[in-house]
Structure 1
């Protein structure tokens, strides 16, 4: 039959188009679709179309907002549509220009002059900064300074750091390798340190959040100057002009990229270089590198010069835009905004991390000892880096428009028309005033909400409740509690603020704050102290063995026997004998899906408790995984009174093990110390010396160790002299918030296996038989993922 026409959703079939690719753009322009309107979200387009408003022309002529759409939102979109219709290029049609003729100036309106007040006072030391980058650059080296993990391929390089001062004098720092990118970062920050002494009130202006975001990633990736950069960000030195433009202005352009705004303030100074767009710069850069590799240095340099001119123009454009905005702010009688007070969440590298990194340099760089010490150094600052990354992203969301971050993981962009108040403000007996709100909308890919979690509800400023917003923020937040998870949102409960209530709904839910790492951090620090005390040797303990990728140390080796006990078809017995033989070390067991990993693990634990009186702990990334294993241990024959945990939901029916209070773990273990027991918990529990005294267990089992980070493994390792890693790193890895200088966010099991499809036999056991799939179904999986 005929092709589906543009805009035909085929009813319940719900056919949709991305609206962004080149093919869709042709249809958008030809049909004068609402997607022509800058800032138009798909959910807004759907609501307008449902009300009979299907084109940009219809929107400009509409007399009222459709039911369910915020009148202010409608007015903003309608103003945008009217301005675009009055602009030559506002509806996507190409506009022919004579040679040397500058683009026509788009119409604009200052719709919120107060937003221009976010600009700081101009200073003679102000700088205007821009990157050029190649997102597909990588270095295929077996071993580099960047990473000790040969399989952790890093993509993307910012090959040109460029800036101009108020006199438009241009400085460029080039980087054609990761090593040079690190050097460029350090050169840039060295310059900023000196410049700030000379100009203490200066600012670094940029357009959109790319520059500070990439600087943060770079500093974390290379483990250098993180504290310096964190200080600049906390002190408000970086100023993003994009959110100021988006709040203050409406411009008759489909795009608010800086290149589309330049006719407003650049006059006749149009771009003349061969590079006109960011995509062009990437292609040209790759071309220049290829020419240089072929020995055509002159041709390559010509392209590099053109790229530098393109970058210089972007920096000058940022400077002229700042001045143009300042002129409008002055015309509105606004005064400059002071810089924010530095946030208390400062990041400083740990002295222990510095000491371990220094100790690593006393060993050959490629040695296992050096890699272990570098990983240890990164592990010490793992949790602070994770927290730093979270808060940097969180505060960025409060300064940037929703359109820039609504598609990031764990964000719910709220659709007010589909959301409602479930319970109005009320006072439950003995509790503070609260309400329940059903929030529905668009969830970013990969978003997972869970009942009981505490995400942030994001509101637009001015806040509907008492809130002291720092300068340059455009949003404010409140912590809420998820009561129920929906297919397209959640029911949340929020509390009144100092007796103040409000009717407004939030515009988004964003990820909850990371938990405090106090106990894990203390445990990692304790492990690090032992490593430093043993230097220049490495200590003999399970965590150090894992980091150094040493095969498990066993009493068998001490007695002259080689390797681990052979399975001979009985995995449970072989693993049991191997655990008993461990000499303050670890054992790894890789179990692909359907191979009975939980069965094997639970029966090994059951026999250790029943036959040898072992005191066993079970830890994993989630309560559900731990509780599932505990249930299987009881099913394997261990009395429920010997298996205990503080469950995630104590009221859940049919809990098969002994329910203990969160603070009663020490009492449970002491009560059953003579008989052996199994206790389950989180990393926080096993790193907590008051709950599980150091080395008081005989064995700690890390279930789903393919999702359990090296840093967390170090933290829990102090609970027992032996570790059993159960899992499969080829399944989903743990999600990490931050970027780290070493792959300390890699899973413990994945690190030990070092990229192998199947664990080498000297490190542990591979469960080869699947009980879940027919052999003909399992065969391609085995061949493609597990070496046949």
Structure 2
């Protein structure tokens, strides 16, 4: 910021700083005015970075000139002394060049008296008109970085905003020309970020106008940017002077806000306050966590008063039999000379999704330098690539597995362990094994043997220390470790790596920056070794204190069964046959090669899902029952109440559980993470907090202390069929006529063959997508057709009509989906359609363990398969297990319903049982449920695979149902623009839909702000506000007018109430009673109502336990708001509208809610309730 013409003028850098930290503009302004000294920071690489950036910009400029484009360079007039006037003249020169239609404007300048901007390039585009004529300009900026970052995107959005004030329209797209050897250009549609950007700019300008950047603000809360900020020490000193609550180890912003509300403002005050005085201000389910924080604060404050470090040893829990739990110091295995100490350096910003750039392993020995092993993700040309990352990962696993194999004892158990600090290392290895589809077997052996030991977990469960953070750096003074590297922490390591990336080939793999990072990594490994030794001493100390020995974890054997080993060998051999000759780089593959690569990796898709389910169970095994309570998936801290007889005459267990968020429902399978015993959830009484479970095995088994969801089923027949498809492709190729052609066409993403010229739009002139479907589906020729049906577009009705038409014409039709209930719903619609049209149809269904509805054929067993073969059943429904039967004769057409939720792996197996396939669904609504990470392309649903990177199906590739019969135009416009490329329109008559309730709009979007602090999965404030809303909406005199213009009273069943979390759903049910329909987003997909109320529950982004991807999910927001026929109401904390965003993905997620708010009418809770 600078003062021009007596006003503060800001630039893109100021807005970027504000987005990173609200404190940053205040500090920068004070430094600019000379009232605060700027932190001294000298980095010798900065000058080189500036030089390299200029060279990159000049290369891009020369490339434009070589294409024959005329370039106008805007050069400020140095003879003009007044800075503001100089900017005005440069801005006018830019405007003149635009008006004259220059091809390229270099160093374009914008100045409106409040904002200034200097875009590297404006490039002419004929994609849209502007105030200058039939052309407009788009912003292009060169960045030396190899990956697009949030700050760079915000900068070009700022320039596009200024550009729009000059040419009267946004450029529509902004571009970043990146550095590195690839010289990649990333383009971003402005509309995906515009609403979030406008809110950010408004908040910044409001703060600027109110003088907030010139006022003193005390000690700021720490934010993510602190780790790499030049002002870090300054703000840290302010927090120390204020005795800030953030100095308590483990204290997050939600806890700080809760304590501040309770009148506790400092660390010392928190430590000195009696727990009994605090207890009532804390939610019951969080009290144990706050109690631990209270003890932590006391220890820190007492240690500071004494002037010395302190620690307290915590003894492991014992079960009813007096057996120690494997936690804390009891989780340390017997030390061995073969033990390894492991650390990974990762950059979350590089390579579009992050890269693990250095794997370091330290082993004890005489020559320390020779016993540090490092594997860089850098290829022979000095580039960081996915291929180099894969090689480094493979070398790491090979090293670990080699040492592991050499240390195996005669009984098959391991004599070595791999120590690491934190969950990052094993999680990264699992992710990389799944991403690359390699070394999964070796990693599995290490995991089954429980070779990895998390020292962070040992520390957190085994002791309490007077440190401000339980990072390994903060703990080092306890065990006297001295570092040699100059880097401060992991953030500094990432910063140094980013510098090296930007400098490119100027820095060799042996350059100073990489050497510095390597020394830092070596220190981390050495420190882990020293920490393990110190913890062994503390273990002995605890044994002396207690006068009894602590047990060691029982050694585990890594063996897999002989049959499993044989299957893995066969799969690996088949994978090699499929991928032999396929280029490693995706950009070099043909479509057929890409399809073979995907099929090869799909062979292990089900095994990866199973592994992930087990890994999740083992992750919970390392948590205490009380820690599981704070998780949002499992049930923890169960209290055994006794047994009750179940329907099978056998005893079931009953437990009481503390109030907590979880993902278990009656019928779900679950496992005890400590004994691994399986059981089935029979019933859950949320009001009484009682769960009843049926034991899977008889015998003497201890009742579980926790339950972890374990929805994994035997997929042997499915995997066998997938191998059969792979064998066919390996032997005969993937293209052309022959067996399984529909499945191969799906894999290839081939255009539909249904009587159309290749590449021609499937919908004819003046034809609706529905009519096109009725014309095209009967013509399918061993091919696949995708039908994308947005909310309310009638895709289920259309699918039923198509099925009846095909069956009436003598075709045998199949139906499959991800669940029995979805299949049943479609078959019921088929039955209804056939009866209405007086078509006699024999319908059959294969249900898991139950019989289908009356009048339908039960397709269980061999007789069911025979009924489909002979045509005795015209329409057959079943999940992929049914269609995976090798004895099934292919049907003529298979319909895959909700194909946006069915994995590509399972869809291919189902498609093998059909001559042609119709995929019906919408990837923009709820996605397929996944547990594992998978190689790119294999993680997609069947329909998402066909759409590729598009939001809507291209006209030549499938059908887009362009009309919604549900949404009022004011809701449809929002839904269409945000999720469907503007292609979705409201059907005639939808505009008549309205509610007539005083204080509410008749139709459209409503936002009700409810202010609260510290709410995560439960908000009493929102529940009360929604109870008032619903009471007002359905009181006497309130009415609803439907599409036909018919009016009737608005009743409770006309209001859907949705929440993201089960605990909030339960609270809302208590407040609203049985009359209103209340549930999660997942429960209500496919349903509709005149009014929808969506409670977002969490107070802020930081409070959301499942993160932004869950709470701000575009798919979930789409489903929630598009259930409404005429009135969508979002009830939320206003803080959710302005989350700090540190990635481009987060900006996109935040934009959706900001866009909703821009289009919505804002009603205060008390006003909308009529009070």
TM range (shorter): 0.7 to 0.9
- Once the two structures are TM-superposed, the CA of residue 701 in structure 1 deviates from its matched residue by 0.1
Question: Contact 1:33 / 1:54 at 8 angstroms: preserved in 2?
Answer: no
For 2:491, the equivalent position in structure 1 comes to: 279
For 1:787, the equivalent position in structure 2 comes to: 981
CA separation of 1:363 and 1:250: change in aligned 2, threshold 3 A: closer
- Once the two structures are TM-superposed, the CA of residue 339 in structure 1 deviates from its matched residue by 2.3
What secondary structure, in the 3-state scheme, does the structure 2 residue paired with 1:88 have?
A: helix
Q: Counterparts of 1:243-642 in structure 2 under 5 Å?
A: 243-267=457-481, 269=482, 271=483, 273-292=485-504, 295=506, 301-330=511-540, 332=543, 337-342=553-558, 344=560, 349=568, 351-352=570-571, 354-362=573-581, 365-400=588-623, 410-412=633-635, 424-428=642-646, 431-443=649-661, 448-458=663-673, 467=675, 479-484=679-684, 486=686, 491-495=691-695, 506=705, 508-535=706-733, 540=738, 541-554=741-754, 566=764, 568-569=766-767, 571-610=769-808, 612-638=809-835, 642=842
Unaligned runs of 5+ in 1: 1-18, 96-103, 140-154, 460-466, 468-475
Cα RMSD, aligned residues only: 4.5
What secondary structure, in the 3-state scheme, does the structure 1 residue paired with 2:558 have?
A: coil
CA separation of 1:429 and 1:284: change in aligned 2, threshold 3 A: closer
Question: Contact 1:374 / 1:742 at 8 angstroms: preserved in 2?
Answer: no
Q: Which has the higher contact order (CA 8 A, sep 6+)?
A: 1
For 1:724, the equivalent position in structure 2 comes to: 918
What secondary structure, in the 3-state scheme, does the structure 1 residue paired with 2:882 have?
A: helix
Q: Distance in 2 between matches of 1:42 and 1:426?
A: 41
What secondary structure, in the 3-state scheme, does the structure 1 residue paired with 2:364 have?
A: coil
CA separation of 1:359 and 1:372: change in aligned 2, threshold 3 A: same
Q: Distance in 1 between matches of 2:310 and 2:752?
A: 69
- Once the two structures are TM-superposed, the CA of residue 288 in structure 1 deviates from its matched residue by 2.9
For 1:186, the equivalent position in structure 2 comes to: 394
Matched, 1:684 2:903: no
For 2:363, the equivalent position in structure 1 comes to: 165
Q: Distance in 1 between matches of 2:964 and 2:278?
A: 65
Deviations 1:324-355 (A, max 9, x none): 12233445355755521226486774524543
Query: Which of 641, 645, 651 in structure 1 is aligned with 2:845?
Result: 645
For 2:889, the equivalent position in structure 1 comes to: 694
Q: Distance in 1 between matches of 2:222 and 2:823?
A: 44
CA separation of 1:739 and 1:69: change in aligned 2, threshold 3 A: closer
CA separation of 1:624 and 1:74: change in aligned 2, threshold 3 A: same
Query: Which of 347, 368, 371 in structure 2 is aligned with 1:134?
Result: 347
Question: Contact 1:359 / 1:536 at 8 angstroms: preserved in 2?
Answer: no
Q: Counterparts of 1:72-83 in structure 2 under 5 Å?
A: 80-83=296-299
Unaligned runs of 5+ in 2: 1-220, 227-234, 318-323, 378-383, 409-414, 544-548, 983-1171
Q: Distance in 1 between matches of 2:717 and 2:929?
A: 20
Q: Distance in 1 between matches of 2:466 and 2:275?
A: 12
CA separation of 1:595 and 1:355: change in aligned 2, threshold 3 A: same
For 2:898, the equivalent position in structure 1 comes to: 704
Structure 1 stretch displaced more, 543-552 or 729-738: 729-738
Query: Which of 428, 435, 453 in structure 2 is aligned with 1:214?
Result: 428
For 2:929, the equivalent position in structure 1 comes to: 735
Larger radius of gyration: 2
Q: Distance in 1 between matches of 2:841 and 2:884?
A: 24
What secondary structure, in the 3-state scheme, does the structure 2 residue paired with 1:313 have?
A: helix
Q: Distance in 1 between matches of 2:870 and 2:617?
A: 45
Q: Distance in 2 between matches of 1:623 and 1:20?
A: 49
Instruction: Give the count of matched residue pairs.
Output: 706
Q: Distance in 1 between matches of 2:689 and 2:870?
A: 46
- Once the two structures are TM-superposed, the CA of residue 768 in structure 1 deviates from its matched residue by 1.4
Q: Distance in 1 between matches of 2:779 and 2:696?
A: 59
Matched, 1:58 2:270: no
- Once the two structures are TM-superposed, the CA of residue 376 in structure 1 deviates from its matched residue by 1.2
Q: TM-score, normalised by structure 2?
A: 0.54
Question: Contact 1:412 / 1:509 at 8 angstroms: preserved in 2?
Answer: yes
Question: Contact 2:952 / 2:981 at 8 angstroms: preserved in 1?
Answer: yes
For 2:1151, the equivalent position in structure 1 comes to: none
CA separation of 1:383 and 1:674: change in aligned 2, threshold 3 A: closer
Q: Distance in 2 between matches of 1:315 and 1:561?
A: 57
CA separation of 1:628 and 1:413: change in aligned 2, threshold 3 A: same
- Once the two structures are TM-superposed, the CA of residue 648 in structure 1 deviates from its matched residue by 7.5
For 1:101, the equivalent position in structure 2 comes to: none
Q: TM-score, normalised by structure 1?
A: 0.77
Question: Contact 1:626 / 1:703 at 8 angstroms: preserved in 2?
Answer: yes
